[in-house]
Amino acid sequence: MGLGLRWYHFALWAGFILVMALMPEFVSKGTLRTMIFANFLAIFAISWDVLSGRTGYISFGHPFLIGIGAYTTAILTKRFDVPVEYAIPAAIAMTMVGGTIMFLPALRIKGSYFALVSLAFMELIYQLVQVIRPDLTGGTRGMSGIVTLTRGAANGYYLSFSLMIIVALSMWLLMRTRLGTALSAIAMNEESVKGSGLSPTKLKLFAFMTSAFVAGLGGAFYVHYLGSIAPRALFDINFVFTIIVATLIGGASTIVGPMFGAFFLTFLLEYLRPFLPGAERYLIYGAIALLLYMYQPKGLYHIFMSQLDRFKKKGDDD
Amino acid sequence: MTKPLSIRNLVKNFGGLTATDDISFDLNEGQSTGLIGPNGAGKTTIFSQIMGEYRQTSGTIELNGTEISKLSTPARIRLGVSRTYQVPRPFAEFTVLENVRVGLMPDSIWKMITESPNVDREIELALSVGFSESDLRRTPDELSMGDLRKLEMARTMATNPRIMLLDEVFAGLTVGEIDQIAKLIQKMRSENMTFLIVSHDLKALEPLVDDAIAINYGKVIAQGSFASVISDKAVRTSYLGT
Amino acid sequence: MLEIIIQGVLLSGLYALIAVGFTLIFSVGRVLNLAYGAYIMVAGYIYFYFSQLLGLPPIAGLLLAGILGACMGLLKYNLIVKPLKADHIAVEISTLILAVVLQSAVILCFGNSAKILLPIIPGVIHIGNATVTYNVLVATIASWLILIGLYLFIKRTHVGRAMMAVSMDTKGASISGVDIDKINMITWGISGFLGAIAGVFFASYTQLSPTMWVAPLIIAIAIVIVGGIGSIIGTLVVAHIIGFMEIISVALISPQLRGVFTMLLIILVLVIRPKGLFGREEL
């Protein structure tokens, strides 16, 4: 597969998993709950990264996909008493259908227009769930009393972390193959990709499908963690913003970047909560994000790696 | 025997401008043809139509006997035709090796995931066009124009074509670099590669081609051996402008 | 029926004004300004602050909002867009972040709840059996005046024509001696001004809230996509199409489906004619 794995990759991942698995022993319930959110945000950020971070087709409507996964499983389990084992795969399948729908405009239009359209998709679904069959979707208020899969902070943490680490590892490995190279090439020069004998259409479809798969997975499990669904919070530009900034701060297209970015962000927001309880936190957080992004659009991952390179070079010189 | 490339009555109109005016020619297997003409004559437009970047207004293009007008650019490349571009378009954030890697990839997602890159082949291609070992990990912003042209060449070769369309592949190269690329082309000719080469540098072009086609205002004005074409009166006029 | 036509005309005028500022940036600057909606919101609040909290006359509030909008546009261009230059993705994302930052700033200053703006001009007029507030009427008339003024500006003045030139072909324009930077600055300034005025009118039409910037942004997007870029007339026409579609769907089908048909129209146009109805170029 040409993954180029070295011993330190294994060591770092193993170490990370070990530390995270032992977390419930060391931290309070409150912190655990925060980490659960961070895990889910990481899943959403990674799913965004696979598509937008890699191919450069920036989507400002990612909650469209997450929402399809969330609503499908919510409706199936609550309204039709479908068991969770079937509802979640169905939700993922539906999300992939949604991903295909979202992919269609990407065939014809580029860059900025796609970003706009994706925003329109999110607005569309926001309005539709409130208006079409509110008896099923719960309308403007959403739904509550949805079956939850775990009880207690520790169990919720283990489930969310397991999901997150499986997603992160598989996406990380996938992007290290030539597929990842091809997807990045699309972002750099789509015409040149064609000129290299590769069909960007196939590649983009795959990226959309994969992104949708993970988004649907995350959305479905998230709903079964919260036990409720609220369209106003879900289809909200702030949510888009959170996902995108988590990815960018961490480092777009790196998979690991979005993962750490999600944690960084979640904890930053939590830390600011006692000082700025309301949405004002987004002000600080947004300002930091903006400054960081303008200074280094490639994110913390890149800053970290280039420092490491410099450190290595120094070592070579000695 | 089907010819690698066969063009019949190719016409391309851009609004009121006729860029390609009823052009027909063939390439035989292993043949190397020079495509010459002044700036704006329509040489690059012909390349673009062969590759499918522009759809011709009318006329047929056959690759090894197959009409390719309905095929996408990547599909045509997979059928064996590939080109370089006058303005190089490398992948800006990839190294030389990674740039070549994209060209070497099969158009199958499954294979992309399961098979590793063939780094030996990447290195082989990069070195064959004249890169040195230390260049291999450079990125396009660190390369000279000459290097970028070499990269174009390597990427085109990576797609394993049977017909290569070279568009001003010598422009901006030093004498030594031209020599290297010329040797490479000669080697490929001896391995039966079919070439259609556009170049302003007639001196460099001459030893590389079997014959030539001269174009002006989208029309063929002379065709035949290289010597006869460049001594053709109409051709000389088109270059000198009287 | 008359009611529908009147409401349609009124709404469309407003939508056209909202869209024009956005389209200008996109066609001249080739940049997607996602914080455009934020101009609208901030301007609404500024007007609110000056006219309702401080008690200045509405015209003053309006002008102040407009000027501040222009300043915002200039600042944004100089601080964010210019440094990021050709990296379109970076500009899109930065403007998104900026929009959210502005939203939070507004919440910080004015609180989270929605506010009703007092009408700029109180009173109503009756046309047929339709009741129209002077407020909205003035907004529509003002929108038309501004749009006509803008159209003349683009077609008749040197600067305006330079802007058109840049929107058609930046390289060509700069070779012809146009100062691209200056034109961009002027465009961003005008866009900010227009957005601000539109914002005050829009806020008086609906209500003032920190999240109010998304809806007009979507409308501007819809008009840009359906209408295509490069034509003010196109923007006007499409604004009316969308405005009437909304009014008709609210009146005849269901108020909740207001925006849905607009979205579907976007998707339809993208599939059938990506250039937009009046667009000059491929995307």
What DSSP letter does each residue of C185-251 carry, written as one string?
Answer: HHHHHHHHHHHHHHHHHHHHHS-B-TTTTHHHHHHHHHHHHHH-SS-HHHHHHHHHHHHHHHHHIII
Sorted by where each begins, the domain ranges of chain A are 29-235
Residues listed for chain A: 318
Instruction: Place C19 in a pLDDT band, splitting at 50, 70 and 90.
Output: confident
Q: Do A58 and C89 touch (CB under 8 A)?
A: yes
Partnered with residue B62 across adjacent β-strands are B6, B67
Return the SS3 of B218.
coil
- Of A215-229, A269-283, B180-194, C5-19, the least confident: A269-283
Q: Do C256 and A130 touch (CB under 8 A)?
A: yes
**Chain A to chain C Cβ contacts (< 8 Å):** 126
Q: What are phi and psi of B14, to 5 degrees?
A: -110, 95
The pLDDT of residue C282 is 45
Question: For residues B122 and B116, what is the distance between their CA atoms, to the nearest angstrom?
Answer: 12
Integer distance in angstroms from the first to the last C-alpha of chain A? 35
Q: What are phi and psi of B225, to 5 degrees?
A: -65, 155
Sorted by where each begins, the domain ranges of chain C are 2-272
| Tokens 């049977």, residue located | B162
Burial state string for A62-83 with b = 16 or more CB within 10 A and e = fewer than 16: bbbbbbbbbbbbbbbbbeeebe
Residue A205 clears pLDDT 90, i.e. is over it:
yes
Question: Does the ipTM exceed 0.95?
Answer: no
Query: Which of B101, B109, B118, B139 to mutate against chain A (most A CBs within 10 Å)?
Result: B109
Instruction: Place A281 in a pLDDT band, splitting at 50, 70 and 90.
Output: confident
The pLDDT of residue C90 is 79
The pLDDT of residue C73 is 85
Return the SS3 of C86.
coil
Distant-in-sequence, close-in-space partners of B73: CB < 8 Å, separation ≥ 6 = A194, A195, B51, B52, B53
Question: Which of C32, C94, C105 is nearest residue A290 as measured by Cβ atoms?
Answer: C94
Nearest chain A Cα to B91, which residue?
A188
The alpha carbon of residue A279 is apart from the nearest alpha carbon of chain C, in Å, by 6
Q: Do B77 and A197 touch (CB under 8 A)?
A: yes
Q: What are phi and psi of A74, to 5 degrees?
A: -65, -45
Q: Distances from the Cα of B200 to the Cαs of B36, B170, C45, in angstroms? A: 7, 9, 64
- What's the whole-number mean pLDDT along residues A93-106? 91
Partnered with residue B10 across adjacent β-strands are B23
The pLDDT of residue A318 is 45
Q: Exposed, middle or buried by CB within 10 Å (0-12, 13-18, 19+), for C21?
A: buried
Question: For residues C197 and C63, what is the distance between their CA atoms, to the nearest angstrom?
Answer: 8
Helix (H) or strand (E) holding B19: strand B17-27
**More confident: A280 or C262:** C262
**More confident: C93 or B219:** B219
Residue C231 clears pLDDT 80, i.e. is over it:
no
Residue C93 clears pLDDT 50, i.e. is over it:
yes
Residue B81 clears pLDDT 80, i.e. is over it:
yes
CA-based nearest residue to C213, from C17, C28, C7, C39: C39
Question: Global pTM?
Answer: 0.88
Given a contact cutoff of 8 angstroms between Cβ atoms, the answer to whether C239 and C226 are in contact is no
Q: Distances from the Cα of C106 to the Cαs of A19, C41, C74, C127, in angstroms? A: 41, 9, 20, 38
Q: What percent of chain A has pLDDT over 70?
A: 96
Given a contact cutoff of 8 angstroms between Cβ atoms, the answer to whether B160 and A196 are in contact is no
Q: Do A194 and B115 touch (CB under 8 A)?
A: no
Question: Dihedral angle at the C-alpha atoms of A263, A269, A271, A274, nearest 10 degrees?
Answer: -160
Q: Do A294 and C94 touch (CB under 8 A)?
A: yes
Partnered with residue B11 across adjacent β-strands are B21, B58
Q: Do B113 and A194 touch (CB under 8 A)?
A: no
**More confident: C254 or B223:** B223
Tokens of A191: 């015409």
The pLDDT of residue C11 is 84
Instruction: Place A315 in a pLDDT band, splitting at 50, 70 and 90.
Output: low
Return the SS3 of A284.
helix
Question: Which of A113, A120, A123 is nearest residue C283 as measured by Cβ atoms?
Answer: A113
The alpha carbon of residue B51 is apart from the nearest alpha carbon of chain A, in Å, by 9
The pLDDT of residue A192 is 94
Residue C107 clears pLDDT 50, i.e. is over it:
yes
Query: Which of A189, A192, A298 to mutate against chain B (most B CBs within 10 Å)?
Result: A192
Question: For residues A163 and A210, what is the distance between their CA atoms, to the nearest angstrom?
Answer: 15
Partnered with residue B198 across adjacent β-strands are B35, B167
Which chain A positions have a beta carbon within 8 Å of C264's beta carbon? Answer: 124
Nearest chain A Cα to B118, which residue?
A2
CA-based nearest residue to B171, from B139, B141, B148: B148
Instruction: Place C150 in a pLDDT band, splitting at 50, 70 and 90.
Output: confident
Q: What percent of chain C has pLDDT over 70?
A: 93
Residue A316 clears pLDDT 60, i.e. is over it:
no
Q: Do A244 and C87 touch (CB under 8 A)?
A: no
- What's the whole-number mean pLDDT along residues B143-164? 92
- What's the whole-number mean pLDDT along residues B87-110? 93
Question: For residues B182 and B199, what is the distance between their CA atoms, to the nearest angstrom?
Answer: 12
- What's the whole-number mean pLDDT along residues C211-230? 80
CA-based nearest residue to C62, from C201, C179, C246, C183: C201
Chains B and C touch (3+ CB pairs under 8 A): no
Question: Which of A116, A131, A290 is nearest residue C256 as measured by Cβ atoms?
Answer: A131
Question: For residues A171 and C68, what is the distance between their CA atoms, to the nearest angstrom?
Answer: 46
The pLDDT of residue C31 is 76
> Which strands form B81-83's sheet, in the order they lie side by side?
B81-83, B163-167, B194-198, B32-36, B211-216, B219-225
Question: For residues B213 and C96, what is the distance between their CA atoms, to the nearest angstrom?
Answer: 54
- What's the whole-number mean pLDDT along residues B197-216? 91
**CA dihedral (C63, C67, C72, C74) positive or negative:** positive
The alpha carbon of residue C92 is apart from the nearest alpha carbon of chain A, in Å, by 8
Question: Which of B98, B113, B158 is nearest residue A174 as measured by Cβ atoms?
Answer: B113
The pLDDT of residue A278 is 66
Q: What are phi and psi of B124, to 5 degrees?
A: -55, -45
Residues of A at the B interface (Cβ-Cβ below 8 Å)? 1-3, 174, 177-179, 181-182, 184-185, 188-189, 191-199, 202-203, 206
Q: Do A178 and B90 touch (CB under 8 A)?
A: no
The percent helix, strand, coil of chain C (3-state, each to 5) is 75, 5, 20
Domain B5-89+162-240: homologous superfamily in CATH: P-loop containing nucleotide triphosphate hydrolases (3.40.50.300)
CA angle A143, A148, A149 (to 5 degrees): 150
Instruction: Report the 10 Å Cβ neighbour count for B191.
Output: 8
The pLDDT of residue A194 is 94
CA-based nearest residue to C72, from C207, C162, C194, C205: C194
The pLDDT of residue C183 is 84
Cα Rg of chain A (Å, integer)? 20
Which chain C positions have a beta carbon within 8 Å of A287's beta carbon? Answer: 101
**More confident: A124 or A3:** A124
Q: State whether CATH 1.10.10 applies to domain C2-272.
A: no
